[in-house]
Structure 1
Amino acid sequence: MRDLYLIRHGKPQYPDEHSYCIGQTDLPLSMLGHLQAVLLHEELSDKISAIYCSPLSRAVDTASHIAPALPHLTVSELSERNLGSWDGLSFDKIRQKWPAIYEARGKNPECPIPGAETPLESGTRFSQAISRILHSSDSNIAVVAHTDVISFYLWMLYPEISDIQKFRLPCGSYYHLRVDVEGNAALSDSHYILPHPVLNDELCRMLRNSVDLPQHVQAHSDAVTELACRLCDILKVHGYLFDQQLIRSGALLHDIARLQKHHTKTGGDLFLQLGYPEISQIISQHHGLKETKLDETAIVFLADKLIEETQRVSIEKRFADNLHKCKSPEAMKSHERQLKQARALQDMIQSICYITL
């Protein structure tokens, strides 16, 4: 017996905030998609000897993260279902142009789309491609493809399950199948698997690199991490214990979305979607705490306010140097609130530890 991993690519980058009908429209990975692909790497890279993928960018890029050291064998038949006239359009536009068909598909997802491959057509070509891949390989393999073709392939293996929708995969997840010597595949688990590896330093740095975070931002995050852990050690001597691995991971990742608008919210939302709520809290609050209390989130917040680029500075200097960025009354109010919080936390730690920060 050997293993087959059927993986849905990471989330693609849609043109805007609307919901789109995407089949063979070629979209790149979004920021979230890159992060999802790195988590897939952490979980699967040491379990496979070969990786096959659809030629669409979102699948190729996901495969590149999962197994950068392996050759990526692109197979055109692994591509997503061609969705005809609807492919690449927003559902708002589809609803306006084909109201009757749109309404009918709401009741029956198998209702035909104009010019599209049928589920049977796309599922059959995908199934035939998987069969050829299995017969031409003899090791544990991964296939990076798409939810429509994967779900129909699995339904063909288990036709007693009437609802194909039950096999649909979220972005960045996979099914694990076992394959016998004859090339017959069967699910090892009836549920898809969404990777959730423990975040360590190496994985945090891989996540940062996957979104092309500039080196100076990464260096700042490393300096914040070092100071946050030092504060943690000082407090430990005085009986205050914190989750230091959470602090390390949160500090290493706190500026993951620095290049994006509203980077604290954006970064926090990303890690909430990835299933790391405590990391999300640290990221989303490193520019303003919901409440001023001494916990892991506050320690990273304070360390960030004591590091300018990679240098240790006073709170007063850090905030004075950033005052010019406040272009609105709201920004000034946030600046003053953060300064007040940072001073309060510093006073709290100095009082506990009898030191001057």
Structure 2
Amino acid sequence: MLQLYFIRHGQTEWNLLNKMQGTMNSNLTDQGRKQAIALGKKLRSINFNKIYSSSTPRAIETSKHIFPSKNINYSSLLCEIAMGEWEGKTYSQIEKNNPKEWNNFFNAPFRYKPSKGGESFNQLENRLKKFIDTEELFSQKGVIAIVSHRITLRMLLSLLLKERELFSEIDIKPTSVSVVEIDNTKCHIKYLNDTSHY
């Protein structure tokens, strides 16, 4: 059996400002660092066979706080969905200027049409399928951690569970943990969006 720990990066400065991040980076806040350190203490007794992280700086810093002195495998395939011209803008600005696509982004993701330089959800899904195939995820055993981003983790969860509708029904809070168990390619959620460490 394989246990996957999905972990979102810690709170960032742009999270507090309600700004879209995507491929752009925003530094962790003091609270974000404390969240990651607290999670590291909670997970200390677990023997992780492998640790993956997005190669975005906020995810790298989070993973290092959670897993100090551990070997971490960084992958650009786990980065946040590219949001094109939305990146760096506030939620209210985006919603005002692009109400239809803003609604689709969260509620009808596979009808969402990205702005210039952005990724569609089909593209994100294919990128994550490449990660699963490249790392032969379903062939691995033991316990694996994946440190990534809000949209990416939601998509990865819905992809593993083969339920596209799940994407719009869940949310992933900063430094939350969601655990999925895979046994003979059968997948189920053990728990979702746990923030009890803070």
TM-score clears 0.5: yes
Return the offset for 1:95.
4.7
Counterpart of 1:117 in structure 2 is 119
Counterpart of 1:191 in structure 2 is 192
Larger relative helix fraction: 1
Return the offset for 1:104.
1.3
The answer as to 2:19 corresponding to 1:20 is yes
| Change over 3 Å in CA distance of 1:174–1:108 after alignment to 2 | same
**Equivalent of residue 177 in structure 1, options 144, 166, 180:** 180
**Cα distance between partner residues in 2 of 1:166 and 1:81:** 18
Cα deviations by residue, 1:90-111 (Å, 9 ceiling, x for unpaired): 2344356xx2x2x214543333
| Change over 3 Å in CA distance of 1:150–1:185 after alignment to 2 | farther
**Cα distance between partner residues in 2 of 1:190 and 1:35:** 22
The one-letter code matched in structure 2 to 1:30 is T
| Change over 3 Å in CA distance of 1:135–1:155 after alignment to 2 | closer
Q: Secondary structure at the match of 2:3?
A: strand
The one-letter code matched in structure 2 to 1:31 is D
The answer as to 2:159 corresponding to 1:156 is yes
Counterpart of 1:35 in structure 2 is 34
The answer as to 2:2 corresponding to 1:2 is yes
**Equivalent of residue 104 in structure 2, options 97, 108, 117:** 108
Kept in 2: contact 1:49–1:70 (CA 8 A): no
Kept in 2: contact 1:151–1:164 (CA 8 A): yes
Cα deviations by residue, 1:82-138 (Å, 9 ceiling, x for unpaired): 001111222344356xx2x2x214543333231210112112212331343326754
Kept in 2: contact 1:175–1:187 (CA 8 A): no
| Change over 3 Å in CA distance of 1:119–1:90 after alignment to 2 | same
The one-letter code matched in structure 2 to 1:79 is C
Larger relative strand fraction: 2
The answer as to 2:132 corresponding to 1:130 is yes
CA RMSD, 1 decimal? 2.4
**Cα distance between partner residues in 2 of 1:2 and 1:159:** 17
Q: Which has the larger radius of gyration?
A: 1
Q: Secondary structure at the match of 2:36?
A: helix
Counterpart of 1:56 in structure 2 is 56
Kept in 2: contact 1:157–1:186 (CA 8 A): yes
**Cα distance between partner residues in 2 of 1:104 and 1:8:** 27
| Change over 3 Å in CA distance of 1:185–1:84 after alignment to 2 | farther
Structure 1's unaligned 5+ residue stretches are: 197-273, 275-357
| Change over 3 Å in CA distance of 1:192–1:14 after alignment to 2 | closer
**Cα distance between partner residues in 1 of 2:92 and 2:170:** 26
Q: How does 1:201-350 map to 2 (within 5 A)?
A: 274=198
Kept in 1: contact 2:161–2:188 (CA 8 A): no
TM-score, normalisation: structure 2:
0.83
| Change over 3 Å in CA distance of 1:158–1:178 after alignment to 2 | closer
Q: Secondary structure at the match of 1:189?
A: strand
Kept in 1: contact 2:80–2:149 (CA 8 A): yes
The one-letter code matched in structure 1 to 2:113 is P
The one-letter code matched in structure 2 to 1:104 is K
**Cα distance between partner residues in 1 of 2:54 and 2:163:** 28
| Change over 3 Å in CA distance of 1:150–1:67 after alignment to 2 | same
| Change over 3 Å in CA distance of 1:145–1:92 after alignment to 2 | same
The one-letter code matched in structure 2 to 1:122 is L
Structure 2's unaligned 5+ residue stretches are: none
The one-letter code matched in structure 2 to 1:113 is P
Q: Kindly, what percent of the aligned residue pairs are identical?
A: 24
